[in-house]
Structure 1
């Protein structure tokens, strides 16, 4: 996720099979979800710049300890190749992985294969790879993936789940691996998957798209990748209600893709605002009542109800094929210098009203609800 996502134009023209009608509670749900995660990619920079976190009772507490106390199972960490600010790279995820393992929290590594944000509208090659051939790009993907995951293994903190690309609706490594070059895209994805499997025995690989309620997009992408020999373990979806539809759309797509492809699915990103007010003077992505979902106000209770509803929807995926979900950037509070643009230290954060902390940095109820979920 970054600012806004685009659908592959061709995907919209694919005739999707009849919509399935699964909804939360329509199938026998597991008593718990194996993935109850939070993306905490912004945490190391936040802490370095003075960010602090408090329990619901107002006690200053280490961020990872707060996750552990809440029962969070996984932390998702994005990896850029050579980021301008020096964060979201191997050097910063390694010590964070040690902290996470000490508290029993598993790791989901999210490779962006870029120096900056990747999403359906942005998949820029790393600057160092700009003039590489297809073969060189494939090798670079393999080596970068293997280097990061191998370093995690070497320090005793292996990844449990690995995303090979982030919101890859439009491909990766543009333009060489974009949606108009599906053979190249498949080559790059296979290279990343191969590196993950070679370095981390037992790791589960994820292919991740946005627009989690759009069956035609998933059919187009995964049919094309399957026909080109790409073998994934988990289908990852982003699902934000202000962009991606209704929960019934998500439920239907979860049921559909897990049945069609025979692999489990995971909501790799979701979030919801607890307020519409701004803290840092930089306009938030969700800032108007018209963007809200009926029944879920922009309050701490509304945010809490939303995470519970997403969890219920995933848990109701038929045959226990819904692994769980990850809340996106729950610790990205408004800390000066920790904004959107890694090239600009004065850039603002447009996400603080969807974090899992109020403007006093006190944990909101949704944090505990994510970790303690039971259907």
Structure 2
């Protein structure tokens, strides 16, 4: 009898180890779909895992994802990723029960740790005028969403702002200026909706020194926020262990929820649009091949690390540009129609347009 009982206990224990994700679902199982509107305009097609063509957002929702992320540029050359597209995609997403994170870049193009370029229309503004422009732009987009019945659930004030935003004025070489601009965005978001959660987002999710330096300064200069956002790309941002140590530390040190607002992994080394892919290694991270199975395993691992953040402070994650497939015309440079997509081998749809296994894996986390 004792032997039978021991065997049963061992079986139960092995199940709990084998399926840690079943303990509780992540509150955010998300995908950045900022490229979707332009992809569809240029003929992009999306299919479920069985090959049935359909709405990409519906396919994501049916797989179990519950959140989308949309970036906003101010006046991009191609006219995409503006308020108009955000409103249109948000209507579709909310009708499917998906929640919404709005990502303000405060630029006409990509904003990231290497560049925080002011919108051309804001170039000659004084700091006071620039602060007002941040407030007005943030309020305008979020209030339009509220008025059409699709309120933003979360808002990023800036994108990968390791070095501040709206250079040179908002560079964190002068933290007082950085604080003014970020707090203007925070105040605009909260004026539209007090329940909207404001995220501050850094890249390099495995760099604990960066995060402590940045958020210690944020505290010292009165920068207001609700959630800490991280980018973690395992082939760029350190080991999984370093990422886990950092996300656990910042959540407990600052007492804020954390969310990975960008992560991704390739499912192939092949190219689909004639534009070189940014990640081409057959094994970009040790032990995880660039295959559909490797992509699913890596994204599941990142999700499980977020779930294990102490005190339930890990909200979830977003895969970056899940719908950015190799559609001619939907390239990376809004000012260059001939540019291609260097990311299509990291989407959640394969080169046959079908949903990849990683989508359902994330939907079940």
TM range, normalised to the smaller chain?
A: over 0.9
Q: How does 1:233-272 map to 2 (within 5 A)?
A: 233-272=226-265
Counterpart of 2:129 in structure 1 is 136
Superimposed CA distance per residue, residues 194-252 of structure 1 (whole angstroms, 9 cap, x where no aligned partner) = 00000122000000000001111011111111111112110000000110011111111
Deviation at 1:179, TM superposition (A): 2.4
Counterpart of 1:299 in structure 2 is 291
Superimposed CA distance per residue, residues 149-197 of structure 1 (whole angstroms, 9 cap, x where no aligned partner) = 0000000000001000000001100111112121111110000000000
* Contact 1:28-1:318 at 8 Å conserved across structures: no
* Contact 1:65-1:103 at 8 Å conserved across structures: yes
Q: Quick check: 1:361 aligned with 2:365? A: no
* Alpha-carbon RMSD: 1.5
Counterpart of 1:14 in structure 2 is none
Q: How does 1:364-375 map to 2 (within 5 A)?
A: 364-373=356-365
Deviation at 1:369, TM superposition (A): 1.3
Deviation at 1:30, TM superposition (A): 5.4
* Contact 1:266-1:323 at 8 Å conserved across structures: yes
Larger Rg: 2
Instruction: Report the Cα distance in structure 2 between the residues aligned to 1:58 and 1:371, rounded to whole angstroms.
Output: 18
Counterpart of 2:105 in structure 1 is 112
Instruction: Report the Cα distance in structure 2 between the residues aligned to 1:322 and 1:343, rounded to whole angstroms.
Output: 37
Structure 1 residues 30 and 184, CA, compared in 2 at 3 Å: closer, same or farther? farther
Pick from 186, 189, 196 the counterpart of residue 182 of structure 2: 189
Pick from 56, 75, 81 the counterpart of residue 74 of structure 2: 81
Pick from 19, 31, 40 the counterpart of residue 38 of structure 1: 31
Q: How does 1:175-324 map to 2 (within 5 A)?
A: 175-289=168-282, 292-324=284-316
Counterpart of 2:340 in structure 1 is 348
Instruction: Report the Cα distance in structure 2 between the residues aligned to 1:80 and 1:371, rounded to whole angstroms.
Output: 28
Counterpart of 1:53 in structure 2 is 46
Structure 1 residues 135 and 29, CA, compared in 2 at 3 Å: closer, same or farther? farther
* Contact 1:28-1:316 at 8 Å conserved across structures: no
Deviation at 1:288, TM superposition (A): 2.0
* Contact 1:30-1:315 at 8 Å conserved across structures: no
Deviation at 1:46, TM superposition (A): 0.2
Counterpart of 1:325 in structure 2 is 317
Higher relative CO (Cα under 8 Å, sequence separation at least 6) belongs to 1
* Contact 1:29-1:316 at 8 Å conserved across structures: no
Instruction: Report the Cα distance in structure 2 between the residues aligned to 1:178 and 1:332, rounded to whole angstroms.
Output: 30
Counterpart of 1:165 in structure 2 is 158
Deviation at 1:29, TM superposition (A): 9.1
The SS at the match of 1:172 is coil
* Contact 1:35-1:73 at 8 Å conserved across structures: yes
Superimposed CA distance per residue, residues 58-92 of structure 1 (whole angstroms, 9 cap, x where no aligned partner) = 11111111011011111000000011100001011
- Structure 1 stretches of 4+ with a deviation exceeding 4 A read 27-30
What TM-score results when the alignment is normalised by the length of structure 1? 0.91
* Contact 2:281-2:290 at 8 Å conserved across structures: no
Runs of 5+ consecutive residues of structure 1 not aligned to the other structure: 1-23
* Contact 1:28-1:319 at 8 Å conserved across structures: no
142-151 vs 67-76, greater mean Cα deviation: 67-76
